[in-house]
Homo-oligomer: A and B are copies of this chain.
Amino acid sequence: MKTNVKFYHAGCAVCQDAEKNVANALDPEKFNVEVIHLGENNSRIQEAEKEGVKSVPALVMSGNAYHINFGADLSALK
């Protein structure tokens, strides 16, 4: 069984770079990475907040939020 991972982003340059170099670098044998564009899916902002996401880009893995550098605050996407 692979572990599900979420990568939240908002299409910004910092986000795109983190997706390419970090999210895509995760071991495909162990992880399924779901990529979620919060700018296009506002309805999922609440879900991200519940998982502890404060800004994008961010990975949610093993129940924890990992903010990777800083692209945009979640509040700016509402």
CA distance A31 to B24 in the complex (A): 12
- Please pick, from B17, B21, B30, B68, the residue contacting A25 in the complex, using a CB distance under 8 A: B30
CA distance A67 to B57 in the complex (A): 11
Q: How many copies does the complex hold?
A: 2
Which of the four size classes fits the interface of chain A? 20 to 34
Contact A69 B67 (CB under 8 A): yes
Contact B22 A61 (CB under 8 A): yes
- Please pick, from B21, B64, B67, B68, the residue contacting A17 in the complex, using a CB distance under 8 A: B64
**Smallest Cβ-Cβ distance to A67: which chain B residue:** B69
- Residues in A lying within 8 Å of B, measured CB to CB: 5, 17-18, 21-22, 25-31, 59, 61-62, 64-69
